[in-house]
Amino acid sequence: MRFYFNTAPNPMKVALLLEEVGLEYEQIPIDTRKGEQSTLAYLQVNPNGKVPALVDGEVTVFDSNAILLYLAEKTGRFLGTPEARGELLSWLMFIASGVGPFSGQAVHFRHWVEAADDYAMNRYDFEAERHWKVLDARLESREYIVAEQYTIVDMAAWGWARLIPHIMGTHDAWAKFPNVKRLVDAINQRPAALRVEALRARYRFKSEVDAETRRNLFPQLARLDRSRQA
């Protein structure tokens, strides 16, 4: 089993599940700031040119939540109860289609864009906060998100939730999401999460934000430059 990753939220939630289930896997770092996600070799693994991706024998899976579901079904673990399967799928897709994308765009416009458009910043900041509030309300009267059991949904949320102060742009952000903070703290104490932190420390990815970094992370900039020159 080969796991292609960097230390961003989506790969780390897959790393958490891999460590929880104890499967042996080869760690293959992909430095997206150097453009390694766009090489022909990696595009044959994930044609979308993103991380993470997983190759399990003859099976290739990309998209972090798809990998979570695949591994949980493969091992029969962290899926909750059969009666709660609808809830598990609903909340897993809520994170995949809402929490992750809006949090990611809030980070982009807050931390990566100089003189960000006020409309765009307001939209993504508002929607990121709204989604985290939905999740926080869900956790107000329960320990875990689904079926009163620790599942892949909690792992999916954990990947992004660890970065809430960065997403929302303030260290005080946790005050708005105390129940999410409680879940994050609980997961962080698990041995598997400690092993994920060790994995993060084991690899060094490019940290400089230079022209190469921006070109590799944001290829749309080339199209914008061409339109400005036209």
pLDDT at 230: 62
C-alpha closest to that of 71 among 140, 120, 26, 19: 19
CA–CA distance, 127 with 102 (Å, rounded to integer): 6
Residue 105 φ/ψ region, left for φ over 0, alpha for ψ in the -120 to 50 degree band, beta for the rest: alpha
The angle, 0 to 180 degrees and rounded to 10, between the axes of the packed helices 152-161 and 85-94 is: 20
Confidence at 111, pLDDT banded by 50, 70, 90: very high
Give 104's contacts (C-beta < 8 A, 6+ positions apart): 9
Average pLDDT estimate for 124-130: 97
pLDDT at 221: 82
Mean pLDDT of the chain: 95
Q: What is the dihedral of CA 122, 124, 125, 129, to 10 degrees?
A: 130
> How do residues 16-65 score in pLDDT, each as one tens digit?
999 999 999 999 999 999 999 999 999 999 999 999 999 999 999 999 99
CA–CA distance, 122 with 116 (Å, rounded to integer): 10
Strands 59-62 and 53-56: antiparallel
CB 178 within 8 A of CB 185: no
Q: Please, what is the Cα angle at 15 between 60 and 175, to 5 degrees?
A: 130
Question: What is this structure's pTM?
Answer: 0.95
The DSSP 8-state label assigned to residue 98 in this structure reads I
Residue whose entry in the numeric block shows the structure tokens 């897709």: 93
* CA 95 to the chain's CA centroid: 9
Task: Give ranges for CATH 1.20.1050.10 in the chain.
Answer: 82-188
CA–CA distance, 51 with 42 (Å, rounded to integer): 10
> How do residues 39-53 score in pLDDT, each as one tens digit?
999 999 999 999 999
CB 73 within 8 A of CB 56: no
| Domain at 2-77+193-220: CATH code | 3.40.30.10
> How do residues 164-223 score in pLDDT, each as one tens digit?
999 999 989 999 999 999 999 999 999 999 999 999 999 999 999 999 999 999 998 888
Task: Give ranges for CATH 3.40.30.10 in the chain.
Answer: 2-77+193-220
Cα of first residue to Cα of last residue in the chain, in angstroms, is 47
CA–CA distance, 85 with 50 (Å, rounded to integer): 28
CA–CA distance, 212 with 202 (Å, rounded to integer): 24
Domain 82-188 has CATH 1.20.1050.10: yes
